[in-house]
């Protein structure tokens, strides 16, 4: 779908400033919604009054989660500061969304076993990382060869949510599988380098400048490469991208269906299960927070709420009726 010249300019400006593709898409989405809400008026013809009305609409009428409302505000703050050049007040008096986040769906240990027995062998390694290391979907597909530390049995996650880096655990059982995967990556790379049109793997702009030869180096290749090369949408260069996140999502859904699991299972369900099972095994909540990359401990505490509900800690008074 074509965008207005204003949104095209917004996207181009964010691209030049090295914003991620997903952030650009999200900001454009919310600015488009803001413009539509105000009868297609240009943002330069509006100000804080219209911004407040839009944010209140998201909270009261749309009943969006606080995180979605905050993302919409961030998009508006960027537009008015960087493009309109009339920054919004730092303390806007808008109605903050009070919709509670949903309790995460968690698989039991039995369900996890059933699930992995139905995972396609072609996707077992990345899906194992979602549960075994608690990675987010995009953190998993974006892994590079050098991100696996065989000596310390860990995974280095760069620029996770919020741009944060962290080191997470890696199951011993996956080490030989990763060695096999690297052999596959090496085979792909050798074939690609024989193609005179191949431009190497995609690297962030700052790394391209700092390490000009890294795009052809094995360590910088994606750990889970796509089965075919394609044109880089930014430059048009021929590259080998990582596997599609949507394909990985479908594989997770498919495995859950084959396993007969009736819960709504997604890649994030495996991350939720990782955190919950760590706590069940006696891990300290601060350790789990570090593993997940949560900035706020309260975000991690949602998993303690799961463990505190039902038979894990509270005995129902109904049970007494069934005791002899």
Question: Which residues are designated catalytic?
Answer: 136, 161, 268, 271, 294, 303
Count of alpha carbons within 13 angstroms of residue 254, beta-carbon side: 13
For strands 148-149 and 238-239, give the pairing: unpaired
How far apart are alpha carbons 142 and 323 in whole angstroms?
54
Q: Both ends of the chain: CA-CA distance in Å?
A: 68
How far apart are alpha carbons 31 and 29 in whole angstroms?
6
State the burial class of residue 322 (Cβ atoms within 10 Å of its Cβ: 0-12, 13-18, 19+): exposed
Q: Which of 26, 25, 78 is nearest to 51 (CA)?
A: 78
Token couple for 55:
């944010």
Assess contact for 216 and 210: CB atoms under 8 A.
no
Beta bridge partners of 179: none
Taking only Cα atoms into account, the Rg of the chain, rounded to an integer number of angstroms, comes to 23
How far apart are alpha carbons 192 and 190 in whole angstroms?
5
Q: Which of 251, 254, 249, 255 is nearest to 117 (CA)?
A: 255
How far apart are alpha carbons 188 and 238 in whole angstroms?
14
Q: Three-state SS across 150-211?
A: CCCCEEEECCCHHHCCEEEECCHHHHHHHHHHHHHHHHHHHHHHCCCCECCCCCCHHHHHHC
How far apart are alpha carbons 15 and 201 in whole angstroms?
19
């Amino acid at each position: 779908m074509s965008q207005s010249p204003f949104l095209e300019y917004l996207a181009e400006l964010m691209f030049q400033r090295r914003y991620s593709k997903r952030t650009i898409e999200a900001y454009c989405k919310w600015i488009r919604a803001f413009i539509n809400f105000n009868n297609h008026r240009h943002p330069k013809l509006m100000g804080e009054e219209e911004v407040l009305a839009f944010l209140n609409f998201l909270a009261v009428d749309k009943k969006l989660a606080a995180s979605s409302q905050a993302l919409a505000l961030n998009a508006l703050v960027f537009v008015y500061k960087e493009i309109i050049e009339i920054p919004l007040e730092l303390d806007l008096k808008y109605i903050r969304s009070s919709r509670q986040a949903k309790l995460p769906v968690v698989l039991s240990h039995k369900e996890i076993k059933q699930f992995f027995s139905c995972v396609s062998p072609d996707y077992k390694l990345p899906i194992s990382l979602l549960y075994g290391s608690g990675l987010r979907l995009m953190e998993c597909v974006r892994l590079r060869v050098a991100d696996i530390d065989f000596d310390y049995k860990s995974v280095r996650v760069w620029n996770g949510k919020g741009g944060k880096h962290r080191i997470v655990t890696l199951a011993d059982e996956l080490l030989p599988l990763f060695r096999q995967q690297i052999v596959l990556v090496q085979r792909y790379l050798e074939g690609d380098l024989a193609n005179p049109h191949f431009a190497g793997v995609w690297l962030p702009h700052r790394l391209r400048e700092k390490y000009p030869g890294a795009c052809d180096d094995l360590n910088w290749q994606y750990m889970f490469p796509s089965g075919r090369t394609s044109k880089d949408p930014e430059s048009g260069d021929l590259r080998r991208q990582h596997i599609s996140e949507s394909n990985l999502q479908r594989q997770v859904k498919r495995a859950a269906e084959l396993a007969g699991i009736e819960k709504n299972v997604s890649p994030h369900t495996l991350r939720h299960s990782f955190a919950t099972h760590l706590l069940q095994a006696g891990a300290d909540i601060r350790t789990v927070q570090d593993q997940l990359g949560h900035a706020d401990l309260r975000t991690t505490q949602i998993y303690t709420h799961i463990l505190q509900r039902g038979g894990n800690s509270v005995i129902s008074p109904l049970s007494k009726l069934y005791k002899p």
